[in-house]
């Protein structure tokens, strides 16, 4: 079998065939190992409540066939005597493939962790879920940058000069994109400081709605009338934001007026009537009720009470009950509600005596 000794590109055919066999065997072995590990981990995760094994299973599931193929070919190439440029090219492809697969593994690990944490915490702590999603994005970005720098350093690239160049370029980009970076840092402030989170009902100036999404540049709010409001994060932090989701109790002040012909004894009984109406309702705390002032056409009373739940619908139900109770109670006291009226008094002029004739 002298033809096996024939030299092609610096290696005999026997060596080429051996390298091909090693590559094929390596690929088959890696696929079998992948299948075995995934099967065993999948069986193991069924009997445990630990989420780490589920995370490991999800990460291993992102192993790509092209990664196994390139690693197998790289293993086979170690048996060959390759020229300097060819050897460098093989090493370059292997390193880049390994970096690409590492990025996929890291991205999958971060994504699965963020999704699992957000799903568990969103109902109880929306602020933490929002923070983790943003930090997950930063972790992905840092992972990609670090792995690329490691790959370049492995290939002999002077990353010191590269980092310095990136720093100068970053300054130029920062100056050219001040608005975008302002929104980005505003987004970071929103995520870390948590003035509001997804699901909160907020009022910004005259606009109001429920927070649906907090992005890197904008925050999206669903208004009461149905349309979506989009705020730039930097502009949003410059505004006065009223967060009604974090209201623990609601202070209500309302007033009404009765007519001026109401007797003083009856006026003294009206604050006590207001107290009884408020205290008879659940989720309320009475504060005060006073005959506050003399209005242009009414004797004005002011009532203050607290609703112990922030729900607006509950507030309207309680206020309606108080209003109906006032109508019934004042009717029993024979007191009328005042409405804007004016009384005009006309003073008649004295009649002049008729002139005497001469």
Q: Which of 157, 142, 29 is nearest to 92 (CA)?
A: 157
Residue 146: pLDDT over 70: yes
* Predicted pLDDT of residue 256: 95
On the question of pLDDT at 168 being above 70, the answer is no
Mean predicted confidence (pLDDT) in 195-224: 88
In degrees and rounded to multiples of 5, residue 335 shows phi and psi of -115, 135
Comparing C-alpha atoms, which of 234, 245, 224 is closest to residue 125? 245
pLDDT at 345 over 60: yes
**Residue 149 pLDDT level (bands cut at 50, 70, 90):** confident
Mean pLDDT of the chain: 81
**pTM flag (> 0.85):** no
- What is the per-residue pLDDT for 184? 72
The residue-averaged pLDDT of 278-306 equals 94
Tell me: pLDDT of 123 over 60. no
- CA–CA distances in Å: residue 144 to residues 1, 24, 314: 51, 31, 51
Mean per-residue pLDDT, 325-329: 95
Q: Which residue has the higher pLDDT, 14 or 4?
A: 14
pLDDT, mean of residues 142-163: 73
Dist. CA 110–CA 38, nearest whole Å: 19
pLDDT at 18 over 60: yes
Would you state the pLDDT for residue 46? 66
CA 28 to chain CA centroid, nearest Å? 45
Residue 94: per-residue pLDDT = 85
Reported as type and span, the H/E element at residue 288 is: strand 284-294
Which residues does 217 contact at the CB level (< 8 Å), separation at least 6? 180, 183, 184, 187, 232, 233
Higher pLDDT residue, 109 or 9?
109
Pick 336 or 19 by higher pLDDT.
Answer: 336
Q: Which residues contact 357 (CB under 8 A, 6 or more apart)?
A: none
Q: Dihedral sign for Cα 97, 103, 105, 108, please.
A: negative
The pLDDT assigned to 356 comes to 61
Residues 6+ apart with CB under 8 A from 292: 255, 300, 301, 302
3-state secondary structure of 232: strand
Q: What is the pLDDT of residue 263?
A: 94
- pLDDT at residue 172, rounded to an integer: 57
Distance CA 300, CA 295 (A): 6
Judged against a pLDDT cut of 70, whether residue 40 lies above it is answered with yes
Confidence of residue 341 (pLDDT cuts 50, 70, 90): confident
Q: What is the pLDDT of residue 223?
A: 92
Tell me the per-residue pLDDT of 234-263, one tens digit each, with 9 for 90 and over. 888 888 899 988 888 899 999 999 999 999
> In this predicted model, what pLDDT tens digit does every residue of 294-324 receive, in sequence order?
998 899 999 999 999 988 889 999 999 999 9
- The reported pLDDT for the residue numbered 280 is 94
pLDDT confidence tier of residue 50, bands split at 50, 70 and 90: low
Q: Which of 249, 251, 211, 266 is closest to 233 using CA atoms?
A: 211
Q: Mind listing the pLDDT tens digit for each residue in 51-69?
A: 666 777 778 888 888 888 8
Contact 208, 201 (CB under 8 A): yes
pLDDT mean over 277-289? 95
At 326, the pLDDT band (50, 70, 90 cuts) reads very high
CB count, 10 Å around CB of 131?
21
- Tell me the C-alpha distance between 332 and 326, whole Å: 10
Confidence bin at 49 (pLDDT 50/70/90): low
């Amino acid at each position: 079998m002298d033809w096996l000794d024939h030299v092609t590109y610096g290696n005999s055919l026997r060596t080429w065939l051996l390298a091909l066999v090693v590559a094929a065997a390596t690929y088959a072995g890696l696929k079998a190992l992948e299948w075995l590990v995934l099967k065993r981990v999948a069986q193991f995760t069924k009997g445990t409540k630990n989420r780490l094994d589920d995370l490991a299973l999800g990460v291993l599931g992102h192993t790509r066939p092209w990664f196994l193929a390139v690693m197998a070919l790289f293993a086979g190439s170690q048996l060959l005597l390759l020229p300097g440029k060819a050897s460098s090219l093989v090493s370059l492809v292997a390193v880049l493939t390994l970096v690409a697969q590492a990025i996929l593994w890291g991205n999958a690990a971060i994504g699965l962790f963020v999704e699992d944490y957000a799903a568990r915490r969103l109902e109880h702590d929306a602020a933490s879920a929002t923070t983790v999603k943003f930090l997950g994005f930063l972790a992905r970005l840092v992972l990609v940058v670090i792995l690329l720098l490691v790959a370049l350093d492995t290939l002999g690239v002077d990353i010191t000069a590269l980092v310095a160049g990136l720093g100068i370029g970053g300054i130029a980009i920062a100056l050219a994109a001040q608005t975008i970076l302002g929104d980005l840092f505003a987004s970071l402030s929103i995520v870390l400081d948590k003035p509001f989170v997804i699901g909160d009902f907020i009022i910004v100036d005259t606009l109001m709605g429920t927070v649906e999404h907090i992005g890197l540049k904008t925050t999206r709010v669903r208004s009461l009338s149905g349309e979506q409001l989009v705020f730039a994060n930097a502009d949003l932090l410059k505004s006065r934001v009223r967060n009604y989701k974090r209201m623990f109790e609601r202070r209500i002040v309302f007033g009404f007026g009765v007519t001026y012909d109401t007797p003083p004894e009856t006026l003294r009984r009206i604050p006590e009537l207001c107290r009884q109406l408020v205290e008879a309702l659940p989720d309320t705390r009475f504060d005060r009720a006073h005959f506050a002032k003399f209005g242009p056409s009414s004797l004005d009373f002011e009532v203050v009470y607290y609703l112990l739940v922030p729900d607006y619908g509950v507030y309207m139900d309680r206020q309606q009950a108080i209003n109906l109770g006032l109508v019934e109670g004042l009717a029993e006291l024979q007191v009328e509600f005042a409405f804007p009226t004016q009384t005009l008094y006309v003073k008649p002029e004295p009649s002049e005596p008729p002139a005497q004739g001469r």
